[in-house]
Structure 1
């Protein structure tokens, strides 16, 4: 197979060679980018996701990467990484939450605490099951997926084929309904 080079900067132009070039960039710079990702986050999985998204963006838009000279490609990758990591950390911050947790760290305990919202202090699980069973399935599923299973808003939105805004709204309405049910039962 013949490699066609662009004028002056030594990058291949046909699609198969572009993917091979991106694979070589990944092999050469992925560890540097992974280590540099810890400037933006302390979570290793977010750092790995950031490195993957950098090279996904390059594969989606290879023309801009092909115009960068090889001795400056690392600076280009760092610039992409800065933007990707800011996007990932803001998304993580928006979707982060504290899951429901047992108050004494014991799974046998019947009392749960919600450290973020604090409106659910100590809850008897049987009454919680009764209250959640009165919610409509849409509200019940979203609040359970978010708080019990730890899904993010974006993941729930993809699951139900709705927007993140609709997921936030469903969770807010479900929390409001649960709060009023707790007030009726004198839990608050």
Structure 2
């Protein structure tokens, strides 16, 4: 077989594989953005200790790493944490929010025991905040990537998201009240692109 023809066949197969992977990602369960209910007084008035979950960070039980935090899921009506999705190798599992002991922005510490709830079928009816999800403005412009999820430790209510700006290392705090809908790969906000610079910088 001619080498040029072989190279064309290989490149064509590679392109088809990339297109197929893109279709799978767009049609996979949990790929639909879920709208959040308007923030109520309880959500916006949280004033307890702020804990921070680093997406992609380690999750530990008594110092032993149990996996990496891949995503968190919220209750759409109250914006409280519902589950934390851990990745361990090629497997994923859901840990209930009640198992969280603390989160310092580096390590998520969990209780020794919690009810098992393996992720056999990812749910597509709850807002999912996934590592590196793209955050977009009201005009549809890309603002940056999701890095951390901040929540009130006493109520479990998510209060702010930490977003790393596009083309810059600066991170800013996005109030959860500005989020309209959240899916695994895209977070829609009512924030105008021009308002990005006015958000409070995130200080570690």
Is the pair's TM-score, using the shorter chain for normalization, greater than 0.5?
Answer: no
Q: Whose relative contact order is higher, 1 or 2, with alpha carbons under 8 Å and at least 6 apart?
A: 2
- Larger Rg, first or second structure (1 or 2): 1
Q: Give the structure with the higher percent strand.
A: 2
Q: Give the structure with the higher percent helix.
A: 1
Q: How high is the TM-score relative to the length of structure 1? A: 0.24
Q: How high is the TM-score relative to the length of structure 2? A: 0.23
